[in-house]
Structure 1
Amino acid sequence: MSLPKRYLITSALPYANGLKHVGHLAGAYIPADIYARYLRAQKRDVVFVCGSDEHGTAIPIQATKEGTTPRAIIDKYHEAMKQDFEDLSMSFDIYHRTSEPIHHETAQEFFTYLNDRGELETKETEQYYDEEAKTFLADRYIKGTCPNCGSDRAFGDQCENCGRTLSPDELINPVSTLSGKAPVKKKTSHWYLPLGKHEEFLREWILNEHKDDWRATVVGQCKSWIEGGLQSRAVTRDLDWGIKVPLKDAEGKVLYVWFDAPIGYISATKQWALNNGKDWEPYWNDKDTKLVHFIGKDNIVFHCIIFPIMLKLHGNILPTNVPANEFLNLEGDKMSTSRNWKLDMRDYITDFVKKENGGGQTVDMLRYYLTQIAPETKDSEFMWKGFQDAVNSELVSIFGNFVNRTWVLMHKLCGGKVPKLHEELLDDEDRKLMAEIENAKAKVENLLEEYKFRDALFEVIDLSRRGNQYMQKKEPWIVAKQLAENPEAQKSIDNTMHLCLQLSANLAILINPFLPNTAKKMIGMMKVVEKMLDWENAGKLKLLSVGYTLRAPELLFRKIEDDEIKYQVEKLKSGLVKPETTTTKVEEAKSETANLKSEIQFDDFAKIDLKVGTIVTAEKVEKADKLLKLSIDLGFETRTIVSGIALHFKPEDIVGKQVVVVANLAPRKMRGIESNGMILMAEDKEGKLHFVSPSTVINPGAGVS
């Protein structure tokens, strides 16, 4: 298979509403940087783009918190994030921002193109409206009581206390965060992208074409969305902050941030092209371009389903791969900005990088650990003790130790010069090491091409481990003691040190995509130009010329001390904001009745856990004649359950009805809605359904036996 003519690499655009933590770094930025650096070392045509996502409700909300303007917020955090990325050696070809005029123009052109060709549809819906503030309310501008845990820290999209995803209609006693008053429902019209029209294309493209070369978690999530039924998604919203909808009848409306943000990859490429006298179009319109999106798993639906539909309709190329990572947890708990349980990139830079001379080695220490624990196939854990062990036991004791021993012994036993290789004296151990050096390139290369960065890094470290083993077997310091009686022993020393030096040169090439500062330091010790790091040189055994004088050894890494780790753990725990502890009736009921049995499938029906519930709300599921979406109060929580009873009951007639719920049935998506349980029904001989209900009203959550 021939190689693509060019590569376009993207990392998810971070929201410019605050500093980003190392979970973001591990998920979307370090993997992309490794891949881009590898491609550059291959001398391939590659452009690596990223930038700040500066629209959406997150920005004005942060501005309100800080008592300033949205513009001040994006200016502040754009510069902060850009600097943090630079300090941690991210090699973006451009770090752009979606507030730039070129992005507004690009996004508006994209919308106009789709709208003029009838690819968008308009709908009138009812949304919450603040009569005092005279504005429609985005989900995040609505606050109320969580129906799940009873917390008053619930917003229209999510509860800050229990983390449950919500809709504004589920909130108890909703109020506007702008005025503090209860909002009203008001009609508004918006443009929508009808995702369902493109289901056949997605099935063929993802579930058939890419079912084997994309990560299983990515394909699995896409399959779940597709089979759950794709709904139309709003392209516009009522908001002051954002890109104005370029139509006369769209006053007060902006493009939804999910629509404009990925277009930021295109506008960033345009700006890069302008800055460098290049043509941007082949990178987005030529099928001989390989487009790769690096993201976290929470962005899969946008980059694998929604944005590809947009690209297809606009005539652009589609992503070749979307190697999404899972989540990175911290010291046994999920990272949370609201609870301050996180490690910001800025904190690491302040505590480690800025305290070092140049900071390169501590930057690479973090890059190493985050790659070693990369959540490529499942969630992983950042542990400060794990960081210390990875640095001290591997970077220092294996990789750094081998390079340092090689330089020290070369200066001591070979006069500081690259010794000659006496081929007639090569033994089995020598030849075995030479073969491993030659084979390492293909091993690492194949893994990088498959986006298996963790495994590729292991191969590099393992090669340095092999170097240590080789040197230990050869013991040139012991052989040196025989020189007085046997001068010919110098040839054995020469061979050992020559191969160790050639291995060191190969290690610099192979480690460069992962630890660029380390590679730079190594070529400085070798007194060679950066061109030696070109990938084509990997696997070669004559990288350093015989008789060439090398510089004195420098330690590549330092050890992480116990007191540094203790300080970081204490700092983390002392800054934790604990969730509220106010006991509500919902929480009291939860503590009494939430001891559900294990999750079941139908084959495990004997383990069924039945609970009494009360239907709180009921509504028809769009484009599904048989389905009702029910909110059912189980006492300890409110569940969303999708039930096929719409032909038998009107939604308004069953609100308040008590039902029996299979409470431990595995969640299942139906028409894009996650159903968490099943209600029991009885069917008479005419085929009419009847509720299985308690004979008298009892407390929701009561068990059924």
Structure 2
Amino acid sequence: MILSGSGKVRFDLGEISVEAGDVVLFHPFEAHVLRNDGNEDLDFVDVYWRDGEAALDAAAKTTAPRGPIFVFSTPPTPNGDLHLGHLSGPYFGADVYTRFLRMKGVEAYHLTGSDDYQSYVATRADADQSTPAKVARYYAHEIRATLALFDCEVHSFQPTMGDDGYGEFQAACFRRLLSSTAIDLRQSPALFDAVTGHYLYEPDVSGLCPDCGGSAGGNICEECGAPNLCHDLGAARSRQSAEAPLVGSVRRPELALDRCYDNIDRHLRASGVPLRILDLFARLRRRGNFSVPITHPSDWGLPAEGFPGQVIWVWPEMAFGFLYNIQALGRLLGRDWKAEMPGNDWQIVHFFGFDNSFYHALLYPALYAEVFSHWTPRIHYHVNEFYLLDGKKFSTSCRHAVWGKEILSPKTVDVVRLHLGLTRPEDERTDFTLDALRRTENEVFQGIWLNWLDALNQEIKQDFAGRVPDAGDWSPVDRAFFARIEIYRAAMERAYSDEGFSVRRAAAQVCDFVRDCVIYRRAQDYAAARRFYPARNRTSLALQTTAAAILAPTLAPLMPRFARTLARGIDGVSTETWPRSVQRLAPGTRFDLGPVLVFYAKSAILI
């Protein structure tokens, strides 16, 4: 209740102006901030009360976000193809999330691209005795092919090389950034190879993280997520020679992050980031004054205007590249989305690995505030940890990987997606093994899922000519199972929704549900009772066909190919829209799962 003065209230859906006499009511858990934007005191009274029932009701609801929603998976570095470590993280997560939103009728798009100007591309070109441009083009093509094999739907794939408009937009953003009060031109310490004299950063140097003391690469520590400036690494080692690197200096523009902390803090509070990112921000603030260069001496990258021999650092470039990708998508759709004028109605969702947290959640909001003062970004973040291969991190450079193309085909992609879902590294690191993947295929998908569907399909075919029977007598067990189907549907909706998004939880829930279906079926599988009490048997089969039918749409974000094949065998079932509730199949509905059972009948994981 505003007593005097005026201000603005920012909440989940935007911002409103308030003045004396206004009353603003919020639902439980609705984040909001009141800010005084006038020259006099803003007096208000804040009233709250505890209502357990209302709180539980609010916590149980899932909100359908308003579009347009731009879901970004981190643009992959085209220094190699995608392996299962890549696929399990941002690309799988963004694909599942976008598919679900579109089923809910939300205008949502999955965007990514190839991060062509990464320094790692130049490193790979040196190793291959090629050029960075050739390496980037080749692997960008391979990456797109692997995403297609993974059934990962991408609505805009934006390369950063070869587009004049992209370079012009980046140059304009760089000029605007240089005029910011948070940018200083400094002659600051930098690291150089003792033998070649080359400037060292990113893949060219490693050492001990100045924040956690663990092993770190140049500019970022993959273990704790903290940035470094290379010269502050402990026991620094150059990739180019065995001699200890030397500290020199370079004149370049730097972003004083400490001047941006208030903007970053406001953004993080509004976006609801995971606590681990808040911890990263708190650790960064403990450093006090901290500046990061926005250019680096290099011959690979977009030229930094006014700084000969230097290029725009690829991470600030990526921040503005996201906006250019939205504009490029708009051109395809006939929409007037302008990168230089991002809209306050845009909602952005980022999927990335924790090692990129500093860039996405801390650096990018700071850059946006300096370049687009009119824009209040609405960004949500979904972060995954590292996926391990036999106990060690997947690695492109070390060739420690299972590559997507080695294992993906139309017949295997659903099992791979199911297994990656069950083992996806969301809040903790998880491990992939080929033996575990084969167990998921043979013991879970083949041994439980397909065996249940096959037994159900045979009984419907033999006793009811491939048509769903009408239910008869209902026992308490039948009523409980029917309720369980709706509980499952609602649980899957929450696992796909922003409030509780978890591919791992969704995959576990569908496996638990199919096991419940098998248990329910076994409890009804008594031949004499089926003959003597046919009305009870009809109810059991009607409920099982309903359970099979609800699998198709609820699996569509997770396993789209299998879901579509399953839906084709049951009349009236669609994977295009999300079911608002469970509806029993009408008696007489065609039920023929022969095609799906034949296609997936034999084990297909061969490597």
Q: TM-score range by the shorter chain?
A: 0.7 to 0.9
What aligned pairs does 1:249-398 form with structure 2 within 5 A after superposition?
249-281=306-338, 285-315=342-372, 316-349=375-408, 353=409, 359=410, 361-398=411-448
Q: Shift in Å at residue 183 of structure 1?
A: 8.6
Whole-Å separation in 2 of the counterparts to 1:145 and 1:434 = 58
- Offset from partner CA, 1:437-469 (integer Å, 9 cap, x none): 223222221222211221222222222222212
Decide whether aligned partners of structure 1 residues 284 and 454 sit closer, same or farther in structure 2, where only a CA change above 3 A counts: farther
Per the alignment, residue 599 of structure 1 pairs with: none
Query: Taking structure 1 as reference, are residues 69 and 37 closer, same or farther at Cα in structure 2, changes over 3 Å only?
Result: same
Distance in 2 (alpha carbons) for counterparts of 1:551 and 1:474: 21
Deviations 1:568-616 (A, max 9, x none): 5xxxxxxxxxxxxxxxxxxxxxxxxxxxxxxxxxxxxxxxxxxxxxxxx
Q: How does 1:279-678 map to 2 (within 5 A)?
A: 279-281=336-338, 285-315=342-372, 316-349=375-408, 353=409, 359=410, 361-422=411-472, 425-449=473-497, 450-475=500-525, 478-479=528-529, 482=531, 489-528=533-572, 532-543=574-585, 546-548=588-590, 550=592, 552=594, 554-555=596-597, 557-558=600-601, 560=603, 568=607
Write the distance in 1 (CA, Å) between the matches of 2:554 and 2:327.
32
Alignment of 1:24-103 (within 5 A): 24-99=86-161, 100-103=163-166
Among candidates 209, 220, 223, match of residue 279 of structure 2: 220
Distance 1:215 1:170 in 2: 27
Tell me if the contact between 1:398 and 1:464 (Cα under 8 Å) persists in the aligned partners.
Answer: yes
- Unpaired runs of 5+ residues, structure 2, are 1-26, 28-62, 211-215
The answer to whether the 8 Å contact 1:55/1:241 transfers is: yes
Q: Which amino acid aligns with 2:91?
A: Y
Q: Give the match's secondary structure for 2:319.
A: helix
Distance 2:93 2:203 in 1: 35
| Counterpart residue identity of residue 214, structure 1 | V
Secondary structure of 2:392's partner? coil
Q: Secondary structure at the match of 1:321?
A: strand
CA distance in 1, matches of 2:236, 2:364: 36
Counterpart code for 2:583: L
Distance 1:109 1:376, change over 3 A: same
Distance in 1 (alpha carbons) for counterparts of 2:520 and 2:218: 62
Deviations 1:94-137 (A, max 9, x none): 1211113333233222222222344422112354568998x852
Say whether 1:236 aligns with 2:306: no
Q: Which residue of 2 aligns with 1:667?
A: none
Separation of aligned partners in 2, 1:86 and 1:543: 34
CA distance, structure 1, for counterparts of residue 207 and residue 478 of structure 2? 71
Aligned-residue offset at 1:427: 2.1
CA distance in structure 1 between the aligned counterparts of 2:275 and 2:194, rounded to whole angstroms:
48
**What is the CA deviation profile of residues 349-368 of structure 1, one whole-angstrom value per residue up to 9, with x for unaligned ones?**
3xxx2xxxxx2x41111111
Q: Show CA shifts across 1:681-701 (max 9, x none).
A: xxxxxxxxxxxxxxxxxxxxx
- Letter aligned with residue 491 of structure 2: K
Alignment of 1:139-288 (within 5 A): 139=201, 167=230, 177=240, 187-206=249-268, 208-209=269-270, 213-229=272-288, 231-245=290-304, 247=305, 249-281=306-338, 285-288=342-345
Task: Give the AA of the match of 2:379.
Answer: T
Cα offsets for 1:23-59 (capped at 9, x unmatched): 1212211111111111111110101111110103212
Aligned residue number for residue 4 of structure 1? 65
Larger Rg: 1
Moved more, 6-15 or 451-460: 451-460
1:287 Cα offset (Å): 3.6
TM-score by length of structure 1 reads 0.68
Q: 1:145 to 1:385 in 2, by over 3 A?
A: closer
Contact kept, 8 Å, 2:566 with 2:593, in 1: the verdict is: no
1:641 maps to which residue? none
Task: Give 1:331 deviation, angstroms.
Answer: 1.1
In the alignment, is the contact (CA less than 8 A) between 1:59 and 1:74 conserved in 2? yes
**Does the residue aligned with 2:379 lie in a helix, a strand or coil?**
coil
- Structure 1 residue 20: deviation in Å? 2.5
Aligned pair in 2 of structure 1 residues 233, 558: CA closer, same or farther (>3 Å)? farther
User: Following the alignment from structure 1 to structure 2, what is the Cα–Cα distance between the partners of residues 510 and 327?
Assistant: 27
* Cα offsets for 1:294-334 (capped at 9, x unmatched): 11010011111001111223334435321211111111223
| CA separation of 1:112 and 1:434: change in aligned 2, threshold 3 A | same
Give percent identity, aligned residues only.
Answer: 21
Contact residue 392 and residue 559 of structure 1 kept, 8 A: no
Contact 1:57 1:138 in 2 (8 A): no
Structure 1 residues 118 and 216, CA, compared in 2 at 3 Å: closer, same or farther? closer
The separation in 1 between residues aligned to 2:92 and 2:218, in whole angstroms, is: 33
Aligned letter for 1:295?
A: F
Inter-partner Cα distance in structure 2 for 1:535 and 1:8? 20
Structure 1 alignment gaps of length 5 or more: 149-153, 354-358, 569-705
Change in Cα spacing, 1:170 to 1:119, as seen in structure 2 (3 Å) is closer
Q: Is the 8 A contact 2:256 2:292 kept in 1?
A: yes
> How many residues of Structure 1 are paired with residues of Structure 2 in the alignment?
531
Code of the aligned partner of 2:258: G
TM-score by length of 2: 0.78
- What SS is found at the alignment partner of 1:323? strand
Q: CA offsets per residue over residues 422-445 of structure 1, 9 Å max, x none?
A: 3xx222222112212223222221
Q: Aligned match of 1:113 in 169, 176, 182?
A: 176
- Quick check: 1:417–1:547 contact (8 Å CA) kept in 2? yes
State how far apart, in whole Å, the 2-side matches of 1:535 and 1:173 are: 54
Deviation at 1:250, TM superposition (A): 2.4
Deviations 1:44-102 (A, max 9, x none): 01011111101032122211111111111011000001100110011111121111333
How far apart, CA to CA, are the structure 1 residues paired with 2:203 and 2:399? 22
Residue 142 and residue 281 in structure 1: after superposition, are their counterparts in 2 closer, same or farther (change >3 A)? closer
2:494 aligned partner, one-letter code: N
Contact 2:419 2:440 in 1 (8 A): yes
Tell me by how many angstroms 1:157 deviates. Answer: 6.8
Q: Name the aligned partner's letter for residue 436 of structure 1.
A: R
Partner Cα separation in structure 2 for residue 295 and residue 430 of structure 1:
43
Tell me the amino acid that sits aligned with residue 23 of structure 1: G
Offset of 1:173 from its aligned partner? 11
Greater CA drift, 81-90 or 458-467: 458-467
Kindly indicate whether the alpha-carbon contact (under 8 Å) linking 1:391 and 1:559 is maintained by their aligned counterparts in 2: no
Q: CA deviation digits over 1:549-575, x for unaligned, max 9?
A: 6353532645658xx68xx5xxxxxxx
Counterpart residue type for residue 385 of structure 2? E
Would you say the 8 A contact 1:439–1:539 is kept in 2? no
